[in-house]
Homo-oligomer: A and B are copies of this chain.
Amino acid sequence: MNRIGIIGFGALGSFYANMIGNEHRVEGVTVGAICDIDAEKREKARSLFPQVPVYSSADEILDSGNCDFVSVAVPHYVHPEITMKAIRKGMPVIVEKPAGIIPSTVREMNACSQEHPDVPFGIMWNQRTNRVFRKLHDITASGEMGALRQVVWISRQFRTQRYYDSGTWRATWGGEGGGVIVNQAPHQIDLLQWIFGMPKRVYATTNFGYHRSIAVENDVCAEFAYENGATGVFITCTDDVLGEDRLTAVYDKGRIRVFDSRRMEIEKLCDDEETIGTDYSDEKINTLKRNGKLFETIVFEKEDEPFANSEHAKVFRAFSEHMAKPEKPLVAEGTDGIYEVLLASAIQLSGWLKQPVDLPVDDELFLSELNKRILAEGKYSTR
């Protein structure tokens, strides 16, 4: 049995403790220890898990001898700092997403991990376990659809004002580090970069406190330019009660659409589009269309989850198995978190400056613009 140490007993940490400690959803893993800097949360942990030792600092839990690996479920800003503490003590660690807010701190975390290559380091990209996205990743990487020409992901979400009012740190520059880009959308941003690679340029039109009383961004329309000429659009918001989740990727040899992150429709052309557009006669194209032979359609669906949030359990299980057998892969290497942070910070910086931004972003410029917003907010110290 591997004993997990849960660092941070907020919404996520307490959910993990329940999933692993009470529901026994992660084979081979048990709850070894819990830690929170907040006395009230420690009290809650003790009452819910009376048999589990509870600590008040990361150092204490890391030195306790009561855990074999840790989950870092603290505020985004602090992810790199706490993760580095674990790595330096040789403690295997899974960090929450996003890997951090400030790219330079995530680079530092990655450098630390590279100095300790034997310490397993993962990141909670649970949506990478969705077999629809795995398949999309594999098809794209295989080249069987040819090169990407365009990807459009519209992910319009809904959060109530009550949700925003439920924690003082929520949707703040200084506490959370942003809005929809760092809280709701990191999965989509990571999947975009994981599947389609990093764009070279980003331009975003961003609205702050759009139809909600918050300081941070909650309505973002971002455009990407990729090195090969492909373009991308990523739309996300939290003010759409109807909601929409629709991904369309167009390639040289066809199109793949994913509806509601569940149902994937692959339309594979009989030939490369450029060849059809250049060498095929109009008659040949029309005949292919008429006979339904221009493309074939393959449908691929996400399996039903055996229990709510089973994706998180898969990430923990893979991590635990990797600890026993290092040849077993993680769902996502911890060092991989930097790409999502770079793409997210480019979207943020472009929205702040109202100008296109080339990747990678200028770390100092990003930090100084972020600090301007923390200062204007007046609730937290600058970073």
Contact = CB atoms under 8 A, between A and B. Distances in A.
A289 to B, nearest CB: 9
A11 to B, nearest CB: 16
Interface string A261-297: 0000001010001101110101001000000001100
Contacts of A255: 242
A146 to B, nearest CB: 10
Interface string A137-172: 000000000000110101010111110000000000
Interface string A302-331: 000000000000000000000000000000
Oligomeric state, in number of copies?
A: 2
Contacts of A354: 201, 356
Interface residues of A, number: 53
Contacts of A278: 160-161, 212-213
A208 to B, nearest CB: 10
A58 to B, nearest CB: 34
Contacts of A295: 242
A212 B277 contact: yes
A219 B205 contact: no
A149 B210 CA distance: 9
A241 interface: yes
Contact of A223 (B156, B223, B244): B223
Contact of A240 (B201, B203, B233, B250): B250
Contact of A277 (B231, B241, B254, B276): B241
Nearest to A221: B231
A356 B203 contact: yes
B161 A211 contact: no
Contacts of A212: 274, 277-278
Contacts of A282: 160, 162
Contact of A211 (B237, B267, B269, B274): B274
Contacts of A207: 229, 231
Contacts of A156: 250
A235 B221 CA distance: 13
Given A160-B278, A278-B161, A273 B356 contact: no
Contacts of A219: 149-150, 229, 231
Contacts of A64: none
A239 B274 contact: yes
Q: Which 5 A-B pairs have the closest CB atoms?
A: A221-B231, A211-B274, A161-B278, A205-B225, A205-B231
27 contacts: A149-B219, A156-B250, A160-B277, A160-B285, A161-B277, A203-B205, A205-B225, A207-B229, A207-B231, A212-B274, A212-B278, A213-B278, A221-B231, A221-B232, A221-B233, A223-B223, A223-B233, A233-B235, A239-B277, A241-B277, A241-B285, A242-B250, A242-B295, A244-B248, A355-B355, A355-B356, A356-B356
